[in-house]
Amino acid sequence: MNSRRDFLQRVAAPLIAWPFLTGRAQAAERASGDVSYEGPVLRVAIMGLGGYGTMVAEAMKDCRKAKLVGLISGTPSKITDWRARYHIDAKNCYNYENFDQIRHNPDIDAVYVITPNALHHDEVIRVARAGKHVICEKPMALNAREGQEMIDACRQAGVKLLVGYRMHFEPKTLEIIRQRKAGAFGKVLFFQGLSGFRIGDPNQWRLNPALAGGGAMMDIGIYSINASRYMIGEDPIWVTAQETKTDPVKFREGVDETIQFQLGFPGGAVASCLSTYSMNDMDKIFLEGEKGFAELHPATAYGPIMGRTSLGELTQPHRTHQTVQMEEMAAILLEGKKAPVPVDGEEALKDLKIIDAIYAAVKAPGKIALSL
């Protein structure tokens, strides 16, 4: 298994019939009145034409409010292939040296940055200075300092910064949040988040600290961090953490293999979470309250998400996460719509502050206070 994206796809593999049902639903949707949509369309350039970039591009075929119109890549052959596949105009294609020139291109509204973690900071700031809105994959940056600089650059440029939190639009996830807000679980007491898989190729960028900025925590662990916050409905006020490393060759200095971490929340709830690159099928969240519970398993895979609460099974229909995300982000950028759970740079900065504290807690025993 080579990456988080492989893992997220594999988690849902046993539910093999679902893609066919989803395809039918999407075809029916396109055959309905939706195809006559005549509102504003967000014109997007994708930066980073790898596996996840491809997934986003394919998902955008079913979008009404967002359209792929531009490409940014350091590999000319990818530009050639993608131009043919997605019918992209040559004038909307750039490399990493000249993409600042998008400032002169009125046909591009936003750039979706889907590159290794360490590149996000400089690329997002360059896009902002070129006057385009930015969507950045998570984690937004390597640390909170970089994240704040990105937020500041976008604010100074008068553009918006969104982060690829696709789960913030996922129906079953949102239903649990709705039930929690309605008091179905009573006072929240406990959250558990398990995020991990057994990583493969030791030469991939995710195991290169210069590009990844860490290991499992910077790849898959952020899901448990973020989920603890939107499921409990609060931001944590302290963190403790412990690291385990069984293969110091594969997981060299600066690359975490497994970290267990605990979070404390102002309302009294506690979270116990695991981030790992050495155990498969770790994709579960659980919420316990005085009156009820909620769980998702798989919880963050590409779908379908499966879950139940103390009120019964969750049956909300699945739709491709990236399609929904891009539709919703287009509405945020073009119409001023408010996300059900925030997806802006400030939201991502909170996660980065927690990650910084987790790494610090690994090296220092005891609780580290958080101020988000």
20 and 50 both lie in a single domain: yes
pLDDT at 6 over 60: no
Contact 151, 161 (CB under 8 A): yes
Q: In the structure, what pLDDT confidence band is assigned to residue 3 with cuts at 50, 70 and 90? A: low
Gap between the Cα atoms of 160 and 129, Å rounded:
12
Instruction: Answer whether residue 347 is part of any domain.
Output: yes
Nearest CA-CA partner of 66 in 337, 316, 303, 318: 337
236 and 150 both lie in a single domain: no
Gap between the Cα atoms of 170 and 264, Å rounded:
25
**Beta bridge partner(s), residue 287:** 191, 294
Query: What are the helix (H) ranges across the chain?
Result: 4-11, 18-31, 51-59, 76-86, 120-129, 144-157, 171-181, 209-212, 221-232, 321-335, 345-363
* pLDDT tens digits, 322-356: 999 999 999 999 999 999 999 999 999 999 999 99
Angle at 141 between CA 127 and CA 209, to 5 degrees: 120
Instruction: Answer whether residue 131 is part of any domain.
Output: yes
- Say which CATH number the domain at 144 has: 3.40.50.720
Instruction: Answer whether residue 278 is part of any domain.
Output: yes
Please write down the long-range contacts of 93-99, taking CB distance under 8 Å and 24 or more positions apart.
94/45, 94/70, 96/72, 96/123, 99/47, 99/72, 99/126, 99/127, 99/130
- The two tokens of residue 368 are 């580290």
Nearest CA-CA partner of 133 in 361, 343, 370, 350: 343
204 and 68 both lie in a single domain: no
Gap between the Cα atoms of 200 and 211, Å rounded:
17
Query: Which pLDDT score, from 0 to 100, does residue 36 have?
Result: 80
Active site residue 291: no
What is the pTM for the complete model shown?
Answer: 0.92
Average pLDDT, the chain: 93
Domain count within the chain: 2
Query: Which pLDDT score, from 0 to 100, does residue 22 have?
Result: 42
19 and 143 both lie in a single domain: yes
pLDDT at 46 over 70: yes
Instruction: Answer whether residue 247 is part of any domain.
Output: yes
171 and 138 both lie in a single domain: no
133 and 239 both lie in a single domain: no
**Beta bridge partner(s), residue 43:** 67
Last residue of a domain, one of 165, 198, 227: 165
* Whole-number Cα distances in Å, 1 to 6, 9, 10, 21: 6, 11, 9, 27
Contact 107, 81 (CB under 8 A): no
Q: State which residues form the domain around 239.
A: 167-317+342-369
- Say which CATH number the domain at 177 has: 3.30.360.10
Gap between the Cα atoms of 22 and 25, Å rounded:
5
Last residue of a domain, one of 113, 130, 165: 165
157 and 33 both lie in a single domain: yes
Q: Which amino acid is present at 206?
A: R
349 and 363 both lie in a single domain: yes
User: What is the pLDDT averaged over residues 70-80?
Assistant: 98
Instruction: Answer whether residue 335 is part of any domain.
Output: no
180 and 204 both lie in a single domain: yes
Gap between the Cα atoms of 175 and 316, Å rounded:
8
Instruction: Answer whether residue 330 is part of any domain.
Output: no
**Catalytic-role residue among 65, 138, 284, 350:** 138
Last residue of a domain, one of 138, 165, 192: 165
Contact 269, 232 (CB under 8 A): yes
Cβ neighbour number for residue 306 with a 10 Å cutoff: 18
Instruction: Answer whether residue 250 is part of any domain.
Output: yes
Gap between the Cα atoms of 7 and 1, Å rounded:
7
* Whole-number Cα distances in Å, 14 to 11, 18, 230, 280, 304: 7, 9, 28, 15, 10
Nearest CA-CA partner of 304 in 7, 5, 18: 18
248 and 140 both lie in a single domain: no
* pLDDT tens digits, 154-184: 999 999 999 999 999 999 999 999 999 999 9
Query: Which pLDDT score, from 0 to 100, does residue 365 have?
Result: 83
Number of alpha carbons in the 13 Å side-chain half-sphere of residue 34 = 13
Active site residue 250: no
pLDDT at 23 over 90: no
137 and 199 both lie in a single domain: no
Instruction: Answer whether residue 92 is part of any domain.
Output: yes
155 and 182 both lie in a single domain: no
